[in-house]
Structure 1
Amino acid sequence: MTYAELVLPLVERRDLDPERAGALMRFLLGGEATDAQIGGVLLALRVKGCTTRELAAFAAELRSHAALLPADPDGLVDTCGTGGGVPSFNVSTAAAFVAAGAGVRIAKHGNRAMTSKCGSADVLEALGVPFGGEPEHLAHVLEAVGLVFMFAQSHHPALKHVAKARRELGQRTVFNQLGPLLNPAGARRQLIGVYDPGLMRSMGEALNHLGCERAYLVHGLEGLDEVSPSGPTEVVRVWHGRVSGEIFEPKDFGLEPLDPSALAQGETVQEAGAILKEAISDPESPRAKAILPSAAAAIHLGGIAETLPEATERAREAIASGAAVAKLERLVEESSL
């Protein structure tokens, strides 16, 4: 198909069938499209919005180009979000260490910051975690540590063809929605922070279509792409074939609302690293309390706690015992081998 044939339905706000959606993604990833053409497609998709079928078809095409880990996906949990919410420190990354410290197998997928000061890759790099290794080595790290970080650019090299256009646009695109659907280790349980609650249902339905077992797609109602420790969180729940909506409150985790200042981000990558380390090592810190709902949600998804309050206690124990920060230390050690 020509560029005009691919983009015309989007301009006319017509939805794409899976075949045409796959063809459009192949065009974007093929290396022949100009930055102007890519930008035009991304803007047209942003204006039209993506359906469940389109997202699933885009994700399936991207997965077919990915460098996958030879790992057992059973029980694996990812805490990769869309990015782009109200600025906060790296809550989902910190929550991954706490959940791993509580016994959940974590396959964390992430990238450098696109629109924020510090993405998961940036903060982990500041903490001494090397990334970008071969899939076989990362599978070994997962087996040895119970947690692995997978740098999106290493596993989805075809995305380099759209990177410049995304940067020049300087705004969220369909690739923010797609990132959490592309876990290279095949994790079928996911905690996904979403910057826009209007996107959560279609993303949840797409995950369900792609074989997800369990997921919480979350949007704190003050604009967070995290489970809010301060107030209500809108949730789309994917649970073994069913997709439903609900609201989380801090009390659902057995917690009192926390002042939003506990979520403030650092000004530099080094500050972001220090904040994350504090959050996973000092149980009395407001930072640690801020990550408890997200960590508890990941623990609940992992199946080692039956209720959210029980999962919250597991998260507290992982921080207080040193198990969470020990996972960071082991990750640095094993990833460096």
Structure 2
Amino acid sequence: MLASDLDNDNNKRTIKDVLKELVLNPEKFTSAMAADGLRSIMRGEATDAQIGGFLTALRLGGIGWKPEIIAALAAEGHSKALVPVLNTDTISRKELGMVVDIVGTGGDGWSTFNISTTSSLVVATAADLRVAKYGSRASTSNSGSADLLEAMGCSLSAVKPSDVAELLYKNKFCFLFANTYHPGMRHLSNTRRELGFPTPFNILGPLTNPVVPDRAVVGVYSKSLGRTMAEALKILGRRNYAVVCGDENLDEVSIAGISHVWHIRKNGNIDEYTVHPSDFGVPTHPLSAAAGSTLEDNKATLKRLLSNKLEDQDIPVRDFVLINAGFLLFVSGVVQSFKEGADLARQTLESGKVQDMLGCFASATQKLELR
């Protein structure tokens, strides 16, 4: 349980009170205070100066990188989110089955192809899983997950919280646009952009998927954040989640070499280990060979991948997808080894069924736009 859950006074503390404690008594700053500060901001009660002060003080003191603070901010953000109801009159939660996600913090500076987005499509097609892909448009890369899916014909802004359960049930995939489900976070956007340096809010995205997946792979942009993110997820009660970071400080399982894993087991233990492309039966490739390009180029690459009409330059991207999809299949318990996961991902891609699934999802969202 978070400290904010135990604080009976948390509705009385204003952003000014929080800032005073954060700046003057940082050693006494608590997760409850962090939650209060974010609550006040999301209510529109804070000025731009106060928001900037809050973000900067969290960053400079290192306070904002503590697992309990990150967890408190994520929990407060989730408490104000528009949360889809997955147990409806027509679809029971049991019928829906396991819901998973593969998502990264971004900000690693590598601008690779949309690996997690493509991997999520493969996993949704490969197994009896539902993938609730949480994301947004590009911020640090050439094309974000939302940009690419929209280019493929998906009307993502038409998807409302009440649509998610049916889309997941019928298509096994649904994209959740971050802005739709966390409207209160809009109060932070301008200040974060103007500050121009990372704050704890740069890593909150993977923690705030509104459906709270049963299992997930979460990428972080720095190895130093791996344990911190895992501890925050543990505090939030997440189990069977794996935090990953490529040795190059990449927020995915790397195709170039070693990746570090912090795996939160069912009992809450966090196991640390490394994986390598060879564990998946896949050769290594330099990250530059899997670089993303313009939105149009990425769209063309995705079309070739899904139609199994690969050109030579697509092989590193395809292998990159295989290890990330394979790892999520492993974390989800569908397969018992990394290689088995990559093999299943390869078979699924080569079958052409991923292309059909994406087409069905796009069609379903286009119909929602017409209502």
CA RMSD of aligned residues (A): 1.8
1:106 counterpart (119, 131, 135): 131
- 2:94 counterpart of 1:70: no
What percent of counterpart residues are identical? 37
- Mapped partners of 2:350, 2:28: distance in 1: 50
Deviation digits for residues 276-320 of structure 1, max 9, x if unmatched? 333344375312112111111111122211111111111001100
2:155 counterpart (106, 117, 130): 130
Q: Secondary structure at the match of 2:242?
A: strand
Deviation digits for residues 34-66 of structure 1, max 9, x if unmatched? 223212221222221421111111111111111
Deviation digits for residues 96-119 of structure 1, max 9, x if unmatched? 011112113211000112222221
| Residue range with higher mean Cα deviation, 308-317 or 286-295 | 286-295
User: Counterpart of 1:186?
Assistant: 212
User: Counterpart of 2:72?
Assistant: 57
1:166 counterpart (186, 189, 192): 192
Give unmatched runs, 5+ long, in structure 1: none
- Mapped partners of 1:281, 1:265: distance in 2: 19
- Mapped partners of 1:289, 1:15: distance in 2: 48
1:336: Cα distance to partner? 1.8
In the alignment, is the contact (CA less than 8 A) between 1:94 and 1:280 conserved in 2?
Answer: no
Q: Which has the higher contact order (CA 8 A, sep 6+)?
A: 1
Taking a change above 3 Å as real, the CA distance of residues 87 and 188 of structure 1, as seen in their structure-2 partners, is same
Deviation digits for residues 237-295 of structure 1, max 9, x if unmatched? 112122121111111112221232331111x2222222233334437531211211111
In the alignment, is the contact (CA less than 8 A) between 1:77 and 1:187 conserved in 2?
Answer: yes
- 2:293 counterpart of 1:270: no
In the alignment, is the contact (CA less than 8 A) between 2:112 and 2:287 conserved in 1?
Answer: no
- 2:61 counterpart of 1:31: no
In the alignment, is the contact (CA less than 8 A) between 1:130 and 1:335 conserved in 2?
Answer: yes
- Mapped partners of 1:283, 1:309: distance in 2: 23
Residues paired across the two proteins, number? 336
1:199: Cα distance to partner? 1.4
Give unmatched runs, 5+ long, in structure 2: 1-12, 87-92
- 2:323 counterpart of 1:293: yes
User: Counterpart of 1:94?
Assistant: 118
Write the mapping of 1:216-235 to structure 2, written as runs, cut at 5 A. Answer: 216-235=242-261
Taking a change above 3 Å as real, the CA distance of residues 170 and 304 of structure 1, as seen in their structure-2 partners, is same
User: Counterpart of 1:334?
Assistant: 364
In the alignment, is the contact (CA less than 8 A) between 2:220 and 2:251 conserved in 1?
Answer: yes
In the superposition, the TM-score normalised over structure 2's length comes to 0.85
Deviation digits for residues 124-181 of structure 1, max 9, x if unmatched? 1111111132212122111110010000000001011111111212332222211111
